[in-house]
Structure 1
């Protein structure tokens, strides 16, 4: 698919962002199913690129709070959402160490800074998706339920939480920042991530 064709599809979903600024899980799933129906190629690599792009996009929020890089699964210097290279690890033991590091240093729940913690977890999840061989989205894409295990959240959802300062179910978060993130996700990140290499 060409990026212009993808943008034509994803642009229609901007109006599906809800009053809390959230792009709900059923709507995201509908978007990917529509893209799958239009495409003649496997969409899993595009989904992996999209998750990495989201992690890169929210990464500055981690740096603002902590200043240092995580040991693994972090954007390298000069990374942008157009070039979403992360220092991915292929060692699941290192991913477990990263999870422990995040749990100890940057939980997503108050009184900690949920924006920084969510940005760190987005990198962890982008790494997890990068190592997966199969399309995990139908099982792993979760609504932003504050009682759910953060390990079940899509990297994009965590990035949205990072910008908004928490879950869309928390009335004290920034719904305008969340809406800006999902607009970026639909209008900029999705067309780039899913465009076929020859475009």
Structure 2
């Protein structure tokens, strides 16, 4: 990793420690994503695969895998997360097109919403939403860094449909969003420190410039 990214990660860790709810805020996460490399420009409706895109997708996938035990605990016979991650791999290997990912995103989002309505204390649905975030990154390459979104905006200011994989994974890991009384600040901080210490370096190093 570059010296600049390492310095940024150190600053981000200090931010997580100092944040009253153990949060790694979106503006800082966006800066990290930006350091991963060039974004995939669209060509005839298809996002061109760049090193930056592959790193950002890998980072989201790592987040999903980190909380997959929560899904498996609540839904032991539901193998859809593994199947969806396999679809992402197939997409990057040109075995399926973006329409297949868009279809699974739309259908699975509806399923996860129904899970939440049926059981508001379910954390598995947030793991599902995180998986959808990984799908979106794979074929859209992070809508959250688009010019129309203010670089200072926080997660809570966005529609939940716009939240990214890491934020949803943090909700699942902490047992709820930072606005919920029963969520764990310590667990949220633990997740974001894992994200900065392990996930970001691993995703970055997975694809060489």
What is the TM-score when the length of structure 1 is the normalising length?
A: 0.76
CA RMSD, 1 decimal: 3.1
Match of residue 186 from structure 2: 176
Selected match of 1:75 from 75, 78, 82: 82
Deviation at 1:19, TM superposition (A): 1.3
Superposed structure 1 runs of 4+ greater than 6 Å apart:
none
Contact 1:6–1:194, Cα closer than 8 Å, also in 2 = no
What is the TM-score when the length of structure 2 is the normalising length?
A: 0.73
Match of residue 81 from structure 1: none
Contact 2:36–2:55, Cα closer than 8 Å, also in 1 = no
Contact 2:177–2:183, Cα closer than 8 Å, also in 1 = yes
The answer to whether 1:47 aligns with 2:59 is no
Q: Report the more deviating stretch, 134-143 or 86-95.
A: 134-143
Selected match of 2:169 from 152, 155, 159: 159
- Structure with greater proportional helix content: 2
- The answer for unaligned runs of 5 or more in structure 1 is 77-84
Contact 2:63–2:169, Cα closer than 8 Å, also in 1 = yes
The answer to whether 1:194 aligns with 2:193 is no
Contact 2:22–2:188, Cα closer than 8 Å, also in 1 = yes
Match of residue 115 from structure 1: 123
- Counterparts of 2:111 and 2:79, CA distance in 1: 8
User: Aligned pairs, how many?
Assistant: 181
Change (3 A) 1:46 1:137: farther
The answer to whether 1:126 aligns with 2:134 is yes
Contact 1:102–1:121, Cα closer than 8 Å, also in 2 = yes
> Helix, strand or coil for the counterpart of 1:168?
coil
- Counterparts of 2:107 and 2:36, CA distance in 1: 35
